[in-house]
Amino acid sequence: MIDINIIRKNPELVRENIRKKFQDKKLPLVDEIISLDEEVKKIKIEGDNLREKRNKTSNEIGLLMREGKKEEAENNKKIVIEINSKLESIEKREDELTSMLKEKMMLIPNIIADDVPIGEDDSKNVSEEQFGEPVVPDFEIPYHADIMASFNGLDKDAAGRVSGTGFYYLMGDIARLHSAVLSYARDFMIDKGFTYCIPPYMIHGDAVNGVMSFEEKENMMYKIEGEDLYLIGTSEHSMIAKYKDQILKESDLPITMTSYSPCFRKEIGAHGIEERGIYRIHQFEKQEMIVICKKEDSDDWYDKMWKFSVQLFRSLNIPVRKLVCCSGDLADLKYRSCDIEAWSPRQKKYFEVCSCSNLTDAQARRLGIRYKKENGEKEFVHTLNNTVIAPPRMLIAFLENNLNEDGSVTIPEPLRMYMGGKDKIEVKK
């Protein structure tokens, strides 16, 4: 949610930002918000004036009684009762208008960075930089589900019978590899100075509304029937919400955390769910990185965070590239975002494995997260998040890039301690 002062002072900036995001249907919201804001101001003034009059009239009652002016005192009591009645109506209307204003404000997208490429959808995202040489070996790379099956490591048929499409069983060396990359990612981020966390896997509705747009919530979140609880789609949701309605100390910033969680997503939309593979699924596990910092530090942290992803994937022998997300591909709360994409030798193209985002103060305003400066002023924090590793999807890139011609998979040196010292996993005959 953006600062309402931006709409008050520069509504055309907000309209132009909406146009850049190809959300012209939201343009009328700007005038609606300006009108509602004026109504809220007027009714606040009316309420303040009545409260001032009530206090003055109430204070006079005791004085009049002491002076023996009982009739005038009784008249003042009637005036106070009338004012209270009017105030009850005014305060109810003020609450209604304030709620309507907030609801509309939450539909306005965050102001995007000046250097974000302008484009309607992800086809206009811009490849900015490559890291590592993308190699296509001179032997055939099987489909990732078949590679896993060669190790007796994947059973989607059984998962389909038990849970339906979009679920999986991982087994044996593949399941161990899945756990190994998560443990490696955890320790990788701890070595970067991040605090390791395991968060709640379910959060209340007000926390969901604080961390994401309404459209994202509808397309992603699973709701627990009969309860005000949602399964998280990423640990960012509960990690940022951890500081809801808090005033932090300036000396405690930045807060840097790396969190593990299972993630649950409905995946409603154009992409659909894979029948055979594990690229787009309803359930997965992820190591995430989250930063809460001051405004002046957020751009630097954004650069550090996506570079951590590059460093980690390169340490596992996986070529990657940085793909800058265009305006139309940014979720409403994002100021800027980039994907780190891994090379697929089988498909001869890159695919997304990490998503790094700077949301400036958009989440913090929704959740009421501020910090107190040394001079006593309070300011909203900036929040950032990035994927460290999200298996089983990242296993696709890992297996394809470390596959040998005989079907075995080489375990890169940094991962071997998490695989019981193994330098290779062999095909099951």
Structural domains in the chain? 4-105 (1.10.287.40), 122-425 (3.30.930.10)
Output the tens digit of pLDDT for each of the chain's 429 residues: 899 999 999 999 999 999 999 999 999 999 999 999 999 999 999 999 998 888 888 888 878 888 888 888 888 888 889 899 999 999 999 999 999 999 999 999 999 999 999 999 999 999 999 999 999 999 999 999 999 999 999 999 999 999 998 899 999 999 999 999 999 999 999 999 999 999 999 999 999 988 887 777 888 899 999 999 999 999 999 999 999 999 999 999 999 999 999 999 987 654 556 667 888 889 999 999 999 999 999 999 999 999 999 999 999 999 999 999 999 999 999 999 999 999 999 999 999 999 999 999 999 999 999 999 989 999 999 999 999 999 999 999 999 999 999 999 999 999 999 999 999 999 987
Query: Residue 171 corresponds to which tokens in the numbers above?
Result: 């087994």
Whole-number pLDDT of residue 268: 61
C-alpha distance from residue 309 to each of 17, 292, 313, 388 (Å) = 29, 18, 6, 6
Cis status of the peptide bond prior to 345, with omega within 30 of 0:
no
Whole-number pLDDT of residue 184: 98
SS3 61: helix
Query: Residue 401 corresponds to which tokens in the numbers above?
Result: 């890039």
Q: DSSP labels for 64-103?
A: HHHTT-HHHHHHHHHHHHHHHHHHHHHHHHHHHHHHHHHH
Residues 170, 395: contact at Cβ < 8 Å? Answer: no
Please calculate the CA angle 311-313-316 and round it to the nearest 5 degrees: 110
Alpha helix ranges (H) inside 192-327: 205-211, 214-220, 235-241, 298-315
Distance CA 317, CA 412 (A): 7
SS3 367: helix
62: left (phi over 0), alpha (psi -120 to 50) or beta: alpha
DSSP state of 357: E
Burial of residue 226 (CB within 10 Å: 0-12, 13-18, 19+) is exposed
421: left (phi over 0), alpha (psi -120 to 50) or beta: left
pTM of the model: 0.90
CB proximity list for 193: less than 8 A, separation 6 or greater:
256
Whole-number pLDDT of residue 59: 84
Distance CA 349, CA 345 (A): 7
